[in-house]
Structure 1
Amino acid sequence: EGALKLAKRHTGRTGLVSALNSYHGSTHGALSITGSEGFKNSYRPLLPGVAHLRYNELADLQLITHDTAAVILETVQGEAGVRLPQPGYLPAVRQRCTEVGALLVLDEIQCGFGRTGTQWAFEQFGVVPDILVCAKGMGGGMPIGAFISSPEIMVGFQTNPILGHCTTFGGHPVSCAASLATLQVIQEENLLAGVAAKAARLRTGLVHPAIREVRNCGLLMAVEFDSFEVLKPIIDRALAEEGILTDWFLFCDNSLRIAPPLTITEAEIDAAVTGLLRAIQ
């Protein structure tokens, strides 16, 4: 919500562009840019002036115009089933935004804070956003979220009106302390250095005739099966019999979600893989 307000304030525009099968939240503005009509139609009318492009389709960048305040994308699409940007896609989006004066907002609520092996996923794809949105792993389990931008853009919230964006619990000291501790642990224990090897260990173990594909960016992973009808009993057994917390993706219900903590050990990975393979059987 804050990122949308900031983009509109900075550009003086109202148009918004996001991706089909994106998920940005369930509050009014975030729901408006979420790319699934099934999640939205019970709550219409929502924000006007929202267009949806197909992720990774360069032809759809024409939807970004001089009326666009912001383009909001997940750096790695999460609820679409872990879809990575193709080479050159995000730089092309960045270039188009710059050409027309729109802001690029990257939603890293799922893929930020080291989940993909770098502090921010966008570091791997050759772009820098104008506004960055983060949460989830930011708090190490405590509730906290943020949107980040340059002083030149954030200054728009200082006047007319004063306190242009504020929240009742924003900056709560306990959540902020938890977030600082999380960041310190990530850095001091060099957790990012182990993400690639841990992801590779998971991929190496997840081999079964029923598995159609494994997609991942670091420790954000989707294991695809033929259908939801095949997947649902596997999830039920993983939860009830193996003690493995997993589910499917909102917009990709034939894929199982794997997103372990960055602190997961090799022994825990091996135990989880063994349990998942038993659940598949």
Structure 2
Amino acid sequence: MISNRELFLKNTAQTSNSPRLIEVERVEGIYLYGPDGQRYMDLVSGFNVSNIGHRHPKVLAAIHQQLEKFMHVTVYGEFVQAPQVELATALLDVLPKKYGSVYFTNSGAEAVEGSMKVAKKYTGRREIIAAKKAYHGSTQGALSLIGNEEYRTAYAPLLPEVSFIDYNDLSDLEKISERTAAVIVEAIQGEAGVRVPSKEYMQALRKRCDETGALLIFDEIQTGFGRTGKLFAFEHFDIVPDILMLAKGIGGGMPLGAFIAPKEVMDVIKDNPMLGHITTFGGHPVSCAAAKASLKVIQEENLLSQVNEKANLFRTELDIPQIKEIRGLGLMMCLQLENFDQVYAVSNYCAEKGIIIDWYLHCETALRIAPPLTISMDEIQEACKIIREAIVKFC
């Protein structure tokens, strides 16, 4: 009999020549389980998706309740569907009053695409500015914003009139001008190896956008929903972006994204042309029901209050000389090593011992630590013991 692993390699599209090939049969909480009883502690949360852990009972209950009512019924934006309405209302309730309209998508990349279209139409301008070493997704428009030429070249030509600035560099903000429709930045750069900007920089960026009339768009696809210790990372900087892009952690494990803006900004897609931005499955009712339940779990289980204490324990337990630097905010953390060979060896050793960690698209010399917010203090100590073993052994 051909194994699932063999069929995976034979029949499914591959995204690299060296997939991890960890077979998953079931998941629960912060753990993945293989077909032969292997157990893996997930320290990357499915890449910042499973912020409240895998298969949270309240999310499962919400999914089951919605399945009894309806799944897909029509394209997004035409019928009144309670899960979409309730989730949009819940999101606006926890966001600044500036925001007034939520557009649901299937993914983060689609939120990026929609945000760019809205910004161009609202401002009447064409230039988009992004940051070097940024990651915003792999669709053609989102790929145009990736600040790493290596990942763009093979798919050229991409969008015209996209410029790049150095992230967290005050002097580069002069490149934002009256020609700029929008500046799109990550609240914290993720795939660059968790680069946390200064408050001074973010406030200067906000001011420069105000001066030039450019919209400030924040990508909180990785940072949103408690990852940094606040519900949204922009709260750390005492600013409010004009458009907020969300995905990953929003859906409680279900596929969902969103971009959120003031109503007068979002309303530009309603006419000239009508239906200027549409999606078939965006805001799927089952995903919206799961997302609303997930947000409620974060609030009711007071998960934000535990993030900094847990992050500090990681930092204490991993305070060893072989780790050159620990960067991050909350439970979005990065362990800086010397080279990719060390990262690869440590990651494989940890996987063999039941701990899933990974590296970054634009920073292969560092290890990703982003566990579910529900991880316990004992589990952190258990994981760090194995990570220390691996780093001492290979570094």
Letter in 2 for 1:128: V
Q: What pairs up with 1:131-150 in 2 under 5 angstroms? A: 131-150=243-262
| 1:27 Cα offset (Å) | 0.3
Q: Does 1:204 align with 2:204?
A: no
The 1-side partners of 2:166 and 2:377 are apart by 37
Matches within 5 A, 1:159-238: 159-238=271-350
Q: Which residue of 2 aligns with 1:105?
A: 217
- Corresponding residue to 1:76 among 188, 201, 212: 188
Deviation of 1:267 after TM superposition, in Å, equals: 1.3
Give the number of the structure whose alpha-carbon radius of gyration is greater.
Answer: 2
SS in 1 for 2:188: coil
1:171 positional shift: 1.1
Q: Which runs of 4+ in 1 moved over 3 A?
A: none
Q: Which consecutive unaligned segments of at least 5 residues does structure 1 have?
A: none
- 1:88 match: secondary structure: helix
Which residue of the partner structure matches residue 252 of structure 1? 363
**Percent of aligned positions with the same letter in both sequences?**
54
| 1:34 aligns with one of 113, 123, 146 | 146
1:16 aligns with 2:139: no
Shift of 1:215: 0.6
SS of residue matched to 1:123: helix
Provide the alpha-carbon RMSD of the alignment.
Answer: 0.8
- Alpha-carbon distance in structure 1 between the residues aligned to 2:233 and 2:162: 25
Provide the TM-score with structure 2 as the length reference: 0.70
Amino acid at match of 2:322: A
One of 250, 254, 271 as aligned partner of 2:382: 271
Cα drift, residue 189 of structure 1: 0.6
Aligned to 1:52: 164
Distance across 1 between alignment mates of 2:234 and 2:199: 12
Encode CA deviations 1:121-158: one digit per residue, 9 max, x unaligned: 00011210000001111111111000000111011011
Deviation of residue 187 (structure 1)?
0.5
Tell me the residue number matched to 1:157.
269
- Measured after TM superposition, the shift of residue 81 of structure 1 is 0.5
The 2-side partners of 1:163 and 1:116 are apart by: 36
Equivalent residue letter for 1:239: A
Could you list the runs of 5+ residues in structure 2 that have no partner in the other structure? 1-112
